Structure 1
Amino acid sequence: MRLKMTSQINVGGTDPLFVMFHGYGNDESEMVRIIDAVYADRAAHAASGAAIPAKLTAEYAAEPSYLSFRGTYARPYMGGNYWYPDGCGVEERQRECAAVGEAVKQLLGSPLFADRKKGLIGFSQGGYMSYRMVQAYPEMFDAAILLSPSFKGEENARLDSPTRCFLAYGSEDRTIPLDDQRNARNVLEATGHLTFREYAGMAHAINDAEIDDIRAFVRSL
Protein backbone atom coordinates (compact mmCIF):
# COMPACT_ATOMS: atom_id res chain seq x y z
CA MET A 1 0.00 0.00 0.00
CA ARG A 2 1.29 3.45 -0.91
CA LEU A 3 -0.13 6.47 0.93
CA LYS A 4 -0.18 9.85 -0.75
CA MET A 5 -0.49 13.04 1.23
CA THR A 6 0.08 16.75 1.32
CA SER A 7 1.69 18.31 4.36
CA GLN A 8 2.54 21.56 6.06
CA ILE A 9 4.75 21.36 9.12
CA ASN A 10 5.94 24.15 11.38
CA VAL A 11 9.29 22.46 12.00
CA GLY A 12 10.45 22.95 15.55
CA GLY A 13 7.07 24.35 16.57
CA THR A 14 4.88 23.23 19.44
CA ASP A 15 1.56 23.73 17.66
CA PRO A 16 -0.70 20.67 17.26
CA LEU A 17 -0.26 18.32 14.33
CA PHE A 18 -3.51 17.48 12.53
CA VAL A 19 -3.84 14.12 10.79
CA MET A 20 -6.61 14.41 8.21
CA PHE A 21 -8.77 12.04 6.14
CA HIS A 22 -11.18 13.21 3.44
CA GLY A 23 -14.60 11.90 2.50
CA TYR A 24 -15.72 9.57 -0.30
CA GLY A 25 -14.99 10.83 -3.80
CA ASN A 26 -12.73 13.68 -2.71
CA ASP A 27 -9.00 14.06 -2.14
CA GLU A 28 -6.58 15.46 0.41
CA SER A 29 -7.37 19.07 -0.55
CA GLU A 30 -10.84 18.75 1.03
CA MET A 31 -9.44 18.61 4.54
CA VAL A 32 -6.84 21.29 3.83
CA ARG A 33 -9.68 23.68 2.95
CA ILE A 34 -11.39 22.84 6.23
CA ILE A 35 -8.35 23.31 8.46
CA ASP A 36 -7.42 26.52 6.63
CA ALA A 37 -10.92 27.84 7.41
CA VAL A 38 -10.52 26.87 11.07
CA TYR A 39 -7.23 28.75 11.24
CA ALA A 40 -8.37 31.72 9.16
CA ASP A 41 -8.49 34.09 12.13
CA ARG A 42 -4.90 33.28 13.07
CA ALA A 43 -3.74 33.89 9.51
CA ALA A 44 -5.64 37.19 9.45
CA HIS A 45 -3.96 38.33 12.66
CA ALA A 46 -0.54 37.45 11.26
CA ALA A 47 -1.18 39.21 7.96
CA SER A 48 -2.56 42.38 9.56
CA GLY A 49 0.37 42.97 11.85
CA ALA A 50 -2.08 43.44 14.73
CA ALA A 51 -1.26 42.14 18.18
CA ILE A 52 -1.90 38.41 18.28
CA PRO A 53 -3.68 37.10 21.40
CA ALA A 54 -1.34 35.30 23.78
CA LYS A 55 -3.18 32.00 23.33
CA LEU A 56 -2.38 32.09 19.61
CA THR A 57 1.28 33.00 19.94
CA ALA A 58 2.00 30.66 22.82
CA GLU A 59 0.63 27.45 21.34
CA TYR A 60 -0.32 27.93 17.70
CA ALA A 61 1.36 29.04 14.52
CA ALA A 62 -0.48 31.40 12.17
CA GLU A 63 -0.85 28.42 9.85
CA PRO A 64 -1.67 24.88 10.98
CA SER A 65 0.65 21.90 10.82
CA TYR A 66 -0.96 18.93 9.14
CA LEU A 67 -0.65 15.69 7.23
CA SER A 68 -3.61 15.34 4.87
CA PHE A 69 -3.90 11.89 3.31
CA ARG A 70 -5.45 10.75 0.04
CA GLY A 71 -7.78 7.74 -0.01
CA THR A 72 -6.11 4.50 -1.00
CA TYR A 73 -8.60 3.74 -3.81
CA ALA A 74 -9.08 5.88 -6.90
CA ARG A 75 -12.71 6.21 -8.00
CA PRO A 76 -13.08 4.99 -11.61
CA TYR A 77 -14.39 7.42 -14.23
CA MET A 78 -15.71 10.03 -11.77
CA GLY A 79 -12.44 11.01 -10.14
CA GLY A 80 -11.69 11.38 -6.45
CA ASN A 81 -10.71 8.71 -3.96
CA TYR A 82 -12.04 6.64 -1.10
CA TRP A 83 -10.80 4.65 1.88
CA TYR A 84 -12.86 1.50 1.46
CA PRO A 85 -15.13 0.25 -1.32
CA ASP A 86 -18.67 1.57 -1.30
CA GLY A 87 -21.05 -1.07 0.05
CA CYS A 88 -18.33 -3.32 1.49
CA GLY A 89 -18.93 -5.32 4.65
CA VAL A 90 -17.95 -4.32 8.16
CA GLU A 91 -14.92 -6.62 8.36
CA GLU A 92 -13.49 -5.34 5.07
CA ARG A 93 -14.08 -1.73 6.11
CA GLN A 94 -12.28 -2.26 9.40
CA ARG A 95 -9.46 -4.16 7.71
CA GLU A 96 -8.86 -1.33 5.24
CA CYS A 97 -8.85 1.23 8.05
CA ALA A 98 -6.42 -0.90 10.08
CA ALA A 99 -3.94 -1.07 7.19
CA VAL A 100 -3.95 2.70 6.75
CA GLY A 101 -3.77 3.20 10.50
CA GLU A 102 -0.66 1.07 10.83
CA ALA A 103 1.11 3.04 8.09
CA VAL A 104 0.16 6.36 9.69
CA LYS A 105 1.27 5.13 13.11
CA GLN A 106 4.73 4.36 11.74
CA LEU A 107 4.95 7.82 10.19
CA LEU A 108 3.94 9.51 13.43
CA GLY A 109 6.73 7.63 15.20
CA SER A 110 9.19 10.14 13.72
CA PRO A 111 11.05 12.27 16.30
CA LEU A 112 9.72 15.29 14.38
CA PHE A 113 6.27 14.64 15.86
CA ALA A 114 7.24 13.20 19.25
CA ASP A 115 6.46 16.20 21.47
CA ARG A 116 3.42 17.56 19.64
CA LYS A 117 -0.22 17.27 20.45
CA LYS A 118 -1.92 15.24 17.74
CA GLY A 119 -5.45 15.59 16.46
CA LEU A 120 -7.43 13.63 13.91
CA ILE A 121 -9.87 15.29 11.53
CA GLY A 122 -12.09 13.36 9.14
CA PHE A 123 -15.27 13.90 7.14
CA SER A 124 -17.73 11.07 6.34
CA GLN A 125 -15.61 8.01 5.39
CA GLY A 126 -12.65 9.96 6.73
CA GLY A 127 -14.52 10.50 9.99
CA TYR A 128 -14.94 6.76 10.34
CA MET A 129 -11.26 6.30 9.46
CA SER A 130 -10.38 8.72 12.27
CA TYR A 131 -12.62 6.92 14.74
CA ARG A 132 -11.00 3.58 13.89
CA MET A 133 -7.59 5.16 14.49
CA VAL A 134 -8.67 6.06 18.02
CA GLN A 135 -9.97 2.52 18.52
CA ALA A 136 -6.66 1.06 17.38
CA TYR A 137 -4.40 3.54 19.18
CA PRO A 138 -6.38 4.89 22.14
CA GLU A 139 -3.45 6.76 23.72
CA MET A 140 -1.93 8.28 20.56
CA PHE A 141 -4.24 11.22 19.85
CA ASP A 142 -5.23 14.15 22.03
CA ALA A 143 -8.35 14.88 19.98
CA ALA A 144 -10.49 13.54 17.16
CA ILE A 145 -12.78 15.80 15.12
CA LEU A 146 -15.37 13.56 13.47
CA LEU A 147 -17.48 15.39 10.91
CA SER A 148 -20.58 13.48 9.74
CA PRO A 149 -18.80 10.14 10.13
CA SER A 150 -20.02 6.87 8.74
CA PHE A 151 -20.61 4.48 11.64
CA LYS A 152 -22.12 1.34 10.16
CA GLY A 153 -21.14 -1.86 11.94
CA GLU A 154 -20.20 -0.22 15.24
CA GLU A 155 -23.48 -1.01 17.02
CA ASN A 156 -21.83 -2.90 19.87
CA ALA A 157 -18.63 -0.86 19.99
CA ARG A 158 -16.98 0.35 23.16
CA LEU A 159 -14.25 2.98 23.08
CA ASP A 160 -11.82 3.11 25.99
CA SER A 161 -9.70 6.17 25.30
CA PRO A 162 -8.92 9.56 26.88
CA THR A 163 -9.00 11.18 23.42
CA ARG A 164 -11.32 14.18 23.36
CA CYS A 165 -13.85 13.90 20.54
CA PHE A 166 -15.85 16.46 18.61
CA LEU A 167 -18.77 14.86 16.75
CA ALA A 168 -21.06 16.75 14.38
CA TYR A 169 -23.93 15.99 12.02
CA GLY A 170 -26.42 18.06 10.05
CA SER A 171 -30.05 17.66 11.09
CA GLU A 172 -30.92 16.87 7.46
CA ASP A 173 -28.07 14.42 6.86
CA ARG A 174 -29.60 11.34 5.25
CA THR A 175 -26.35 10.04 3.75
CA ILE A 176 -25.53 8.62 7.18
CA PRO A 177 -28.57 6.71 8.52
CA LEU A 178 -30.07 8.22 11.66
CA ASP A 179 -29.50 5.01 13.61
CA ASP A 180 -25.79 5.20 12.80
CA GLN A 181 -25.67 8.84 13.88
CA ARG A 182 -27.32 8.03 17.20
CA ASN A 183 -24.98 5.09 17.73
CA ALA A 184 -21.91 7.24 17.06
CA ARG A 185 -23.09 9.70 19.68
CA ASN A 186 -23.82 6.94 22.21
CA VAL A 187 -20.44 5.24 21.77
CA LEU A 188 -18.50 8.49 22.08
CA GLU A 189 -20.58 9.92 24.93
CA ALA A 190 -19.80 6.80 26.97
CA THR A 191 -16.12 7.86 27.01
CA GLY A 192 -16.97 11.03 28.93
CA HIS A 193 -14.90 13.11 26.50
CA LEU A 194 -17.41 14.11 23.82
CA THR A 195 -18.45 17.48 22.44
CA PHE A 196 -21.51 16.97 20.21
CA ARG A 197 -23.08 19.43 17.78
CA GLU A 198 -26.03 19.17 15.39
CA TYR A 199 -26.63 21.85 12.76
CA ALA A 200 -30.21 22.69 11.84
CA GLY A 201 -31.03 22.43 8.15
CA MET A 202 -27.59 21.09 7.16
CA ALA A 203 -27.33 17.92 5.06
CA HIS A 204 -24.15 15.85 4.58
CA ALA A 205 -21.91 18.88 4.49
CA ILE A 206 -19.98 21.44 6.56
CA ASN A 207 -21.16 24.98 7.30
CA ASP A 208 -19.78 28.18 8.84
CA ALA A 209 -21.26 27.49 12.27
CA GLU A 210 -19.49 24.14 12.32
CA ILE A 211 -16.17 25.77 11.40
CA ASP A 212 -16.64 28.21 14.30
CA ASP A 213 -17.32 25.34 16.71
CA ILE A 214 -14.30 23.38 15.49
CA ARG A 215 -12.17 26.49 15.97
CA ALA A 216 -13.34 26.81 19.58
CA PHE A 217 -12.69 23.11 20.17
CA VAL A 218 -9.17 23.33 18.72
CA ARG A 219 -8.39 26.33 20.95
CA SER A 220 -9.37 24.32 24.00
CA LEU A 221 -6.84 21.56 23.35
Structure 2
Amino acid sequence: MPAKVLVVDDDAAIRRLLRNTLLRAGYAVVEANDAKEALRQAAAEHPDAVLLDLGLPDRDGLSIIPQLQAQSSIAVLVVSARDAVDEKVASLDLGAVDFVTKPFDTDELLARLRVALRHHGGSETTRKIVERGQLSIDLDRRLVCRDGAEVHLTRKEHDVLAVLAKHIGRVVTHDRLLDTCWGADEDPRVEYLRIVIRNLRQKLEAPEPVGSIIANELGVGYRLRADP
Protein backbone atom coordinates (compact mmCIF):
# COMPACT_ATOMS: atom_id res chain seq x y z
CA MET A 1 0.00 0.00 0.00
CA PRO A 2 1.35 3.47 -0.84
CA ALA A 3 1.92 5.90 2.00
CA LYS A 4 -1.01 8.25 2.46
CA VAL A 5 -0.45 12.01 2.76
CA LEU A 6 -2.98 14.55 3.99
CA VAL A 7 -2.54 17.96 2.34
CA VAL A 8 -3.95 20.82 4.43
CA ASP A 9 -4.04 24.21 2.70
CA ASP A 10 -6.78 26.75 1.97
CA ASP A 11 -5.19 27.68 -1.36
CA ALA A 12 -6.69 25.43 -4.04
CA ALA A 13 -3.74 26.03 -6.39
CA ILE A 14 -1.24 24.88 -3.75
CA ARG A 15 -3.35 21.82 -2.97
CA ARG A 16 -3.50 20.97 -6.67
CA LEU A 17 0.27 21.35 -7.03
CA LEU A 18 0.95 19.18 -4.00
CA ARG A 19 -1.65 16.59 -5.01
CA ASN A 20 -0.18 16.21 -8.50
CA THR A 21 3.37 16.11 -7.15
CA LEU A 22 2.52 13.45 -4.57
CA LEU A 23 0.50 11.33 -6.98
CA ARG A 24 3.35 11.31 -9.50
CA ALA A 25 5.67 10.20 -6.69
CA GLY A 26 3.38 7.27 -5.89
CA TYR A 27 1.61 8.51 -2.75
CA ALA A 28 -2.08 8.32 -1.93
CA VAL A 29 -3.48 11.79 -1.25
CA VAL A 30 -6.35 13.25 0.77
CA GLU A 31 -7.03 16.95 1.15
CA ALA A 32 -8.46 19.51 3.57
CA ASN A 33 -8.88 23.26 3.23
CA ASP A 34 -9.23 24.19 6.92
CA ALA A 35 -8.36 22.93 10.40
CA LYS A 36 -11.73 21.32 11.12
CA GLU A 37 -11.61 19.30 7.91
CA ALA A 38 -7.96 18.38 8.54
CA LEU A 39 -8.80 16.86 11.93
CA ARG A 40 -11.79 15.02 10.45
CA GLN A 41 -9.73 13.62 7.58
CA ALA A 42 -6.92 12.62 9.94
CA ALA A 43 -9.37 10.66 12.09
CA ALA A 44 -11.12 9.04 9.12
CA GLU A 45 -8.22 8.38 6.74
CA HIS A 46 -5.32 7.70 9.14
CA PRO A 47 -2.64 9.32 6.94
CA ASP A 48 1.03 8.52 7.39
CA ALA A 49 2.04 12.18 7.00
CA VAL A 50 0.48 15.63 6.88
CA LEU A 51 1.66 18.62 4.85
CA LEU A 52 0.24 21.43 6.96
CA ASP A 53 -0.15 25.11 6.12
CA LEU A 54 -0.28 27.41 9.14
CA GLY A 55 -2.50 30.15 7.69
CA LEU A 56 -5.83 28.33 7.78
CA PRO A 57 -9.13 30.23 7.68
CA ASP A 58 -10.69 28.80 10.85
CA ARG A 59 -7.70 28.20 13.16
CA ASP A 60 -3.97 28.73 13.25
CA GLY A 61 -2.29 25.62 11.93
CA LEU A 62 0.04 25.57 14.91
CA SER A 63 -2.88 24.83 17.21
CA ILE A 64 -3.76 21.52 15.55
CA ILE A 65 -0.29 19.95 15.43
CA PRO A 66 -0.70 18.27 18.85
CA GLN A 67 -4.22 17.14 17.95
CA LEU A 68 -3.05 15.60 14.70
CA GLN A 69 -0.36 13.66 16.51
CA ALA A 70 -2.67 12.65 19.34
CA GLN A 71 -4.95 10.79 16.94
CA SER A 72 -2.16 8.56 15.68
CA SER A 73 1.54 8.62 14.99
CA ILE A 74 1.47 11.06 12.10
CA ALA A 75 4.56 12.79 10.71
CA VAL A 76 3.58 16.46 10.46
CA LEU A 77 5.55 18.62 8.02
CA VAL A 78 4.70 22.31 8.10
CA VAL A 79 4.59 23.92 4.63
CA SER A 80 4.05 27.63 5.15
CA ALA A 81 4.85 31.09 3.82
CA ARG A 82 5.66 32.15 7.37
CA ASP A 83 9.42 32.30 7.65
CA ALA A 84 9.97 33.84 11.08
CA VAL A 85 12.32 31.85 13.29
CA ASP A 86 9.86 31.80 16.20
CA GLU A 87 7.21 30.21 13.96
CA LYS A 88 9.63 27.47 12.92
CA VAL A 89 10.74 26.82 16.49
CA ALA A 90 7.13 26.74 17.72
CA SER A 91 6.18 24.22 15.03
CA LEU A 92 9.07 21.93 15.93
CA ASP A 93 8.48 22.28 19.66
CA LEU A 94 4.83 21.30 19.15
CA GLY A 95 5.89 18.13 17.39
CA ALA A 96 6.28 18.89 13.68
CA VAL A 97 9.13 16.89 12.16
CA ASP A 98 10.12 19.55 9.63
CA PHE A 99 9.33 23.04 8.33
CA VAL A 100 9.35 23.88 4.62
CA THR A 101 9.00 27.52 3.60
CA LYS A 102 6.90 28.59 0.62
CA PRO A 103 7.73 28.93 -2.19
CA PHE A 104 9.29 25.47 -2.11
CA ASP A 105 11.12 23.17 -4.50
CA THR A 106 8.99 20.07 -5.04
CA ASP A 107 12.02 17.74 -5.22
CA GLU A 108 13.27 19.01 -1.87
CA LEU A 109 9.81 18.68 -0.35
CA LEU A 110 9.56 15.07 -1.53
CA ALA A 111 13.01 14.33 -0.12
CA ARG A 112 12.03 15.72 3.28
CA LEU A 113 8.80 13.75 3.17
CA ARG A 114 10.71 10.53 2.46
CA VAL A 115 12.94 11.18 5.46
CA ALA A 116 9.95 11.85 7.71
CA LEU A 117 8.22 8.66 6.60
CA ARG A 118 11.34 6.57 7.10
CA HIS A 119 11.38 7.62 10.74
CA HIS A 120 7.60 7.62 11.08
CA GLY A 121 6.35 5.97 14.25
CA GLY A 122 8.42 7.59 16.96
CA SER A 123 10.14 10.81 17.91
CA GLU A 124 13.48 9.07 18.25
CA THR A 125 15.06 6.19 16.41
CA THR A 126 15.44 2.97 18.41
CA ARG A 127 18.46 1.82 16.43
CA LYS A 128 21.67 1.45 18.40
CA ILE A 129 23.84 2.06 15.33
CA VAL A 130 23.02 4.90 12.96
CA GLU A 131 24.63 4.78 9.53
CA ARG A 132 24.81 7.62 7.08
CA GLY A 133 26.95 6.97 4.01
CA GLN A 134 30.47 6.18 5.24
CA LEU A 135 29.63 7.50 8.71
CA SER A 136 28.70 5.02 11.46
CA ILE A 137 27.51 6.16 14.91
CA ASP A 138 27.32 3.49 17.62
CA LEU A 139 25.10 5.11 20.25
CA ASP A 140 25.68 2.52 22.98
CA ARG A 141 29.47 2.36 22.66
CA ARG A 142 29.82 6.07 21.88
CA LEU A 143 31.92 5.07 18.91
CA VAL A 144 31.99 7.08 15.68
CA CYS A 145 33.70 5.77 12.55
CA ARG A 146 34.15 7.22 9.10
CA ASP A 147 35.37 5.07 6.23
CA GLY A 148 36.07 2.36 8.82
CA ALA A 149 38.40 4.55 10.91
CA GLU A 150 37.47 5.79 14.36
CA VAL A 151 36.83 9.51 14.73
CA HIS A 152 37.89 10.82 18.12
CA LEU A 153 35.33 13.17 19.65
CA THR A 154 35.11 15.01 22.93
CA ARG A 155 32.31 14.19 25.39
CA LYS A 156 30.23 17.19 24.31
CA GLU A 157 30.78 16.40 20.63
CA HIS A 158 29.55 12.86 21.26
CA ASP A 159 26.54 14.15 23.18
CA VAL A 160 25.46 16.58 20.45
CA LEU A 161 26.05 14.10 17.62
CA ALA A 162 24.08 11.41 19.47
CA VAL A 163 21.02 13.66 19.76
CA LEU A 164 21.23 14.56 16.08
CA ALA A 165 21.66 10.88 15.16
CA LYS A 166 18.58 9.86 17.17
CA HIS A 167 16.60 12.37 15.09
CA ILE A 168 18.43 11.83 11.80
CA GLY A 169 16.86 13.76 8.94
CA ARG A 170 14.91 15.99 11.33
CA VAL A 171 15.65 19.40 12.76
CA VAL A 172 16.64 19.54 16.44
CA THR A 173 16.21 23.01 17.92
CA HIS A 174 18.99 24.91 19.67
CA ASP A 175 17.08 24.80 22.96
CA ARG A 176 16.61 21.04 22.83
CA LEU A 177 20.29 20.44 22.10
CA LEU A 178 21.36 22.79 24.88
CA ASP A 179 18.93 21.32 27.42
CA THR A 180 19.90 17.75 26.56
CA CYS A 181 23.66 18.14 26.23
CA TRP A 182 24.42 20.84 28.79
CA GLY A 183 21.55 21.06 31.22
CA ALA A 184 20.54 23.94 33.47
CA ASP A 185 23.53 23.61 35.78
CA GLU A 186 26.04 24.44 33.05
CA ASP A 187 24.56 27.79 31.92
CA PRO A 188 24.29 26.64 28.29
CA ARG A 189 24.61 29.19 25.50
CA VAL A 190 24.10 28.94 21.76
CA GLU A 191 27.71 30.05 21.29
CA TYR A 192 28.90 26.83 22.99
CA LEU A 193 26.74 24.77 20.65
CA ARG A 194 28.09 26.56 17.59
CA ILE A 195 31.65 25.73 18.65
CA VAL A 196 30.77 22.04 19.07
CA ILE A 197 29.02 21.93 15.68
CA ARG A 198 32.01 23.62 14.03
CA ASN A 199 34.35 21.02 15.55
CA LEU A 200 32.07 18.16 14.49
CA ARG A 201 32.02 19.46 10.94
CA GLN A 202 35.79 19.68 10.85
CA LYS A 203 36.08 16.07 12.01
CA LEU A 204 33.22 14.52 10.07
CA GLU A 205 32.79 16.52 6.87
CA ALA A 206 36.27 17.36 5.59
CA PRO A 207 37.08 17.27 2.72
CA GLU A 208 33.37 17.50 1.86
CA PRO A 209 31.65 20.92 1.79
CA VAL A 210 30.53 22.47 5.07
CA GLY A 211 26.95 21.42 5.77
CA SER A 212 27.17 18.21 3.77
CA ILE A 213 26.51 16.12 6.89
CA ILE A 214 25.24 18.57 9.52
CA ALA A 215 22.80 21.08 8.07
CA ASN A 216 22.13 24.44 9.70
CA GLU A 217 18.48 25.51 9.84
CA LEU A 218 19.18 29.20 10.30
CA GLY A 219 18.04 30.50 13.67
CA VAL A 220 16.28 27.23 14.50
CA GLY A 221 18.70 24.36 15.00
CA TYR A 222 20.65 21.64 13.24
CA ARG A 223 19.87 18.48 11.29
CA LEU A 224 21.97 15.40 10.58
CA ARG A 225 21.31 14.81 6.89
CA ALA A 226 19.83 11.38 6.24
CA ASP A 227 21.03 11.00 2.66
CA PRO A 228 24.67 11.21 1.55
Structure 1 length as normaliser, TM-score? Answer: 0.39
Which structure shows the bigger proportion of residues in helix conformation?
2
Higher relative contact order (CA 8 A, sep 6+): 1
